[in-house]
Amino acid sequence: MTGPREFAAAAAFGERVRGQALVAADGFSARYDLDRHAGTFSRPEHKLFGRCYIGRILVLDRAKGGVATAWMLHEMRARGVMPAALVLNTVNPIMVQGAAFAGLTLMSGFAEDITVCVPDGALVELDPAALRPVLRILSA
């Protein structure tokens, strides 16, 4: 890989996280897109349909849909059916509120489309507490 391996984010919070990225140029809503019992994407039209999100760093385009995600992330965490972190080009307040309530690492706002920059399956690290929050690709 020859491109940049670090991507600065405009905003972030949460713990430093390392894990395998699950990437798609698609939106994210816990209610609209997930089977939260099976831990998979269940919306047939979603680009990650059928794939397991548990323990993965989700790298997606934008937050979408309604307000339910604000409670659902907390509920998913309690049952251990949870992604390791959320990385989005664009967030809405619900995703931020939900991640804050659930204690989930969240990062958003990149100079480039982050779903293009991060290969699906790459090992990545999120450092939200750095002076400038950053996503690092450790291996692709």
Minimum CB separation of residue 57 from another protein in Å reads: 18
DSSP 104-135: -EEEEEESS-HHHHSPTT-EEEEETTSSS-EE
Q: Please choose, from the candidates 89, 131, 118, 83, the residue with its C-alpha nearest in 3D space to the C-alpha of residue 103.
A: 83
**Cβ-count burial 5-14 (b if 16+ within 10 Å, e if not):** bebbbeebeb
CB nearer to another protein: pick between 71 and 119: 71
**Sites of contact with another protein (CB under 8 A):** 11-13, 27, 31-35, 42-46, 62-72, 74-75, 77-79, 90-94, 96-98, 100-101, 106
Q: How far apart are the first and last CA of the chain?
A: 8
Minimum CB separation of residue 123 from another protein in Å reads: 26
Minimum CB separation of residue 18 from another protein in Å reads: 22
CB nearer to another protein: pick between 96 and 117: 96
What are the beta bridge partners of residue 107? 12, 87
Minimum CB separation of residue 44 from another protein in Å reads: 6
CB nearer to another protein: pick between 13 and 54: 13
CB nearer to another protein: pick between 69 and 122: 69
